[in-house]
Amino acid sequence: MGAVEPVVAELEARLRELVARSLGARAARIEWLPGALGLRRFARVHLEGGAAPTLVARIEAPEDPAGRPSGAAPEPALEPIRALLFREGLPVPARLAADAAAGIELLEDVGRVTLADAAEAATADERARLYEEACDLVPRLQRVRDPGGVAAFARRLDAPLYAYKAALFADEVVAPAAGAAAAAAARAALLRAAESLRGAPERLAHRDLQGSNVHVRSGRPPGRRLALIDLQGAFLAPPEYDLVCLLRDSYVELPPAEIGRQLERVRPSLPDAPGHEECAARFDLLTLTRKGKDLARFLFAARTRGDRRYLRFAPATLRHLRAAASRAAARDPGLAGLAEIVAGLPEDACAR
């Protein structure tokens, strides 16, 4: 571990002290977990004398502008959005203790098995039931109202954020593969798609409701087995946003028929109960902005950090983009150029 060993040793000492002081238990073993695209760290702490055998430590990293694409704003703190969702009965981890000075929070351990893991091992019928449970959390989340003082309700998928996502996709994906002119055209088309979303209802969204951020807890019955993590990025967005993240997940490529069935099944339960065509149109437009950003982040991480773990998900992400662009262009001929650009992006170039 070289130069980072003193940092890890200091963090482990703080964790042990916090566990002892706040929980009256001993941290017998600290297991560092693989990081995701973000910069924060996580550890599973194995306890002796605790109410539960393990907990998860969430540790904020010092802000590193070089670690995130230009224009990406830092996320808010986990509290109070976690506490609000917990009070509203959403399945989120309990908070056990915290050391604000060190940026450490001790959270309930919701297990190692993600929805993505479970879906890979499940039969088609079992996978469908898991995704029904996950989709059913979206209307519940959208019914949560602002009690005041929760940053998520002041954050929204607005014009600057659409513009950031469009620029990221154009610069990181299209320009290297197809040149500056195609990148400019793709950026303009994504802004057109964003303009088409203007006036959509704004509802609370998890913002990153992918299979890696939904855990399947062992020993729980269907309907009570899922838990949501990575909550701090929550914001206001059109009602279909979280469903795009979940059903057009880069980590779990669901069959198109299953995506359509799940979307149509949950649609009437959304607080705004959008019509079929309105929901389908927004679902495709949001796919363009969301999956374009995801693909760009995978390539950005590989280029700037040498983190190539996510490149294996690039082809599936591109297939989601192609499907959505084709359907969106059928509704709006002004998006035909984007559909052509996306269709021409080679999968191997996006997994370089």
C-alpha 352: how far from its chain's center? Answer: 23
Residue 73's pLDDT band (boundaries 50, 70, 90)? low
Kind plus residue range of the DSSP H or E element containing 199: none
Nearest to 329 by CA among 151, 189, 132, 224: 189
Same domain, 183 and 302: yes
Does a cis peptide bond (omega within 30 degrees of 0) precede residue 80? yes
Return the pLDDT at 63: 53
Same domain, 97 and 138: no
Do 162 and 191 contact (CB within 8 A), yes or no? yes
Q: Structure tokens of 7?
A: 């940092």
Say which DSSP state 171 is in: I
Of 52, 79, 108, the position where a domain reaches its end is 108
Nearest to 250 by CA among 166, 159, 350: 350
Same domain, 212 and 299: yes
Residue 275's pLDDT band (boundaries 50, 70, 90)? very high
Same domain, 139 and 87: no
Return the pLDDT at 351: 59
Of 80, 108, 136, the position where a domain reaches its end is 108
pLDDT, tens digit, 9 for 90 and up, residues 134-186: 999 999 999 999 999 999 999 999 999 999 999 999 999 999 999 999 999 99
Residue 122's pLDDT band (boundaries 50, 70, 90)? very high
Residue 34's pLDDT band (boundaries 50, 70, 90)? confident
Same domain, 321 and 177: yes
Same domain, 222 and 126: yes
Return the pLDDT at 72: 61
Same domain, 176 and 283: yes
| 52/60 Cα distance (integer angstroms) | 23
Say which DSSP state 53 is in: S
Same domain, 259 and 299: yes
Q: Is the dihedral of CA 200, 201, 204, 205 positive or negative?
A: negative
Nearest to 151 by CA among 75, 250, 66, 67: 75
| 54/111 Cα distance (integer angstroms) | 9
Strands of the sheet containing 54-59, edge to edge, are: 26-32, 41-48, 54-59, 104-108, 95-99
Look up the domain containing 133 and give its range. 115-350
Which residue shows structure tokens 């995130």?
68
Do 315 and 299 contact (CB within 8 A), yes or no? no
The type of residue at 304 is: T
Same domain, 57 and 137: no
Return the pLDDT at 185: 98
Secondary structure of 114-159 in HEC code, one letter for each residue = EHHHHHHHCCHHHHHHHHHHHHHHHHHHHCCCCCCCCHHHHCECCH
Residue 3's pLDDT band (boundaries 50, 70, 90)? very low
* CATH number for position 223: 3.90.1200.10
Same domain, 286 and 187: yes
pLDDT, tens digit, 9 for 90 and up, residues 341-351: 999 998 875 65
Is pTM beyond 0.85? Reply is: yes
Do 127 and 119 contact (CB within 8 A), yes or no? yes
**For the ranges 56-65, 118-127, 257-266, which has the lowest average pLDDT?**
56-65
Residue 1's pLDDT band (boundaries 50, 70, 90)? very low
Of 108, 132, 153, the position where a domain reaches its end is 108
Do 341 and 186 contact (CB within 8 A), yes or no? yes
Output helix, strand, coil percentages for the chain, rounded to the nearest 5: 55, 15, 30
Same domain, 304 and 173: yes
Same domain, 191 and 220: yes
Do 111 and 218 contact (CB within 8 A), yes or no? yes
Share of the chain above pLDDT 90, in %: 87
Number of structural domains found in the chain: 2
The type of residue at 238 is: P
